[in-house]
Amino acid sequence: MKILFIADPMSGFKTYKDTTYAMMQEMAQRGWTLYHSLASQLSVQGKLVVAEVSKFDFIGARDDKDHHWFVSTAAQTLALNKFDAVIMRTDPPFDMQYLYATQLLTLGQQQGARVFNSGQAMRDFNEKLAILNFADLTAPTIVTTRAADIRQFLDEYHDIIIKPLDGMGGMGIFRLSQQDPNISSILEMLMRMDSRTIMAQQYIPDIIYGDKRILIIGGKVVPYALARIPKEGETRGNLAAGGKGVAQPLSARDRFIAETIAPELIRREILLAGLDVIGDYLTEINVTSPTGFQEITKQTDCKVAALFADAVVAAIS
């Protein structure tokens, strides 16, 4: 198996928690040949979508601060269709450069490349807006470019969360109450004077028990969620915002939400998705670079990276 990872620079990986690192480790143990490229190294040459790639040997990190866990060979230019699978793992934000990369990936697929997740899926299934396809599973939600709409929503629900549509790791997320003296400033900053579309959702008090990440791999629901519990004084449970990750079995409601969404993921050729669920409500569907593999694996008997590698094999065969 010859696998290309399109991901951020590997020297910057936090190997003790990085999901892409876990994927690479599992595939290296299986004897697969691994390559790495940046999204910015995609191009079209001779009518083919190609990437400047570096083959690397996976050595493994000696400790949490070891950045010399791989040895790369000299870069070469190869067509995407020369690989058994192309794994897109570049982190958001989903800006114009990201959009262009997904378009090149789609062209590469038309030329025979097998890309996971597909460029089309990443364009069409925005991680925030995708939940609107499953309105029965969500808390009250609005999407708007007008601050007046947010104020009206706040008047109705009294306690809300607002967030941009293109961030990750909890960036740009605010909790607003009617007594907040900074409402105007926050809306002006986040909405850029009514020129930027954002999402608002009713605040869900169950966040104190964790923002649950539920993984769906190859249409199958991983039996454990990673509950990301906010640190004291924080609204966001994201690990990047200091949340504590606690693996736990899925509740009946968790499984119902995941199994409701799984067929749509299969239809859209989304091999890996990470649902965010707070209490009984779906809040996001992450398809760009879902995380949580290492935390779940370390705390349970579920080897998530192995499930992903198995799904890659099934998808390409």
The verdict on 187 and 222 lying in the same domain is no
Active site residue 192: no
The CATH number covering residue 157 comes to 3.30.1490.20
| Of 17, 89, 114, 236, catalytic | 236
Active site residue 276: yes
The verdict on 9 and 115 lying in the same domain is yes
Tokens of 147: 């601050």
The verdict on 211 and 196 lying in the same domain is no
Report the distance separating Cα 47 and Cα 248, nearest Å: 48
Active site residue 286: yes
The answer to whether residue 70 is domain-embedded is yes
Active site residue 128: yes
Nearest Cα to Cα of residue 114 among 93, 138, 83, 89: 83
Range of the domain at 51: 2-124
The verdict on 22 and 117 lying in the same domain is yes
Per-residue confidence (pLDDT) for residue 93, from 0 to 100: 80
Per-residue confidence (pLDDT) for residue 4, from 0 to 100: 98
- Cβ partners under 8 Å of residue 254, min gap 6: 212, 214, 225, 277
| Of 126, 213, 254, 295, catalytic | 213
Contact by Cβ (8 Å): 160, 203: yes
Per-residue confidence (pLDDT) for residue 240, from 0 to 100: 67
The verdict on 217 and 303 lying in the same domain is yes
How many residues can be counted in the chain? 317
The answer to whether residue 32 is domain-embedded is yes
| Of 17, 114, 163, 212, catalytic | 163
Q: How many domains are contained in the chain?
A: 3
Per-residue confidence (pLDDT) for residue 12, from 0 to 100: 95
The answer to whether residue 109 is domain-embedded is yes
pLDDT tens digits along 256-275: 999 999 999 999 999 999 99
pLDDT tens digits along 112-128: 999 999 999 999 998 89
The answer to whether residue 129 is domain-embedded is no
Report the distance separating Cα 111 and Cα 117, nearest Å: 16
| Of 18, 26, 228, 254, catalytic | 228
The verdict on 120 and 165 lying in the same domain is no
| Of 18, 127, 254, 284, catalytic | 284
Dihedral, 259, 211, 139, 196 alpha carbons, nearest 10? -110
Looking at 100, 124, 148, which one is the last position of a domain? 124
Active site residue 55: no
The verdict on 273 and 214 lying in the same domain is yes
The answer to whether residue 131 is domain-embedded is no
The verdict on 173 and 115 lying in the same domain is no
The verdict on 151 and 109 lying in the same domain is no
Mean pLDDT for the chain overall: 95
Looking at 203, 223, 247, which one is the last position of a domain? 203
> With a cut of 70, which residues of the chain have pLDDT below it?
233, 236-237, 240-241
The CATH number covering residue 39 comes to 3.40.50.20
Active site residue 236: yes
Active site residue 284: yes
Per-residue confidence (pLDDT) for residue 285, from 0 to 100: 96
Active site residue 17: no
The answer to whether residue 132 is domain-embedded is no
What's the gap between Cα 95 and its chain centre? 15
Per-residue confidence (pLDDT) for residue 252, from 0 to 100: 98
Looking at 61, 95, 124, which one is the last position of a domain? 124
The CATH number covering residue 302 comes to 3.30.470.20
The verdict on 44 and 146 lying in the same domain is no
The verdict on 212 and 166 lying in the same domain is no
Parallel, antiparallel or unpaired: strands 33-37 and 2-6 = parallel
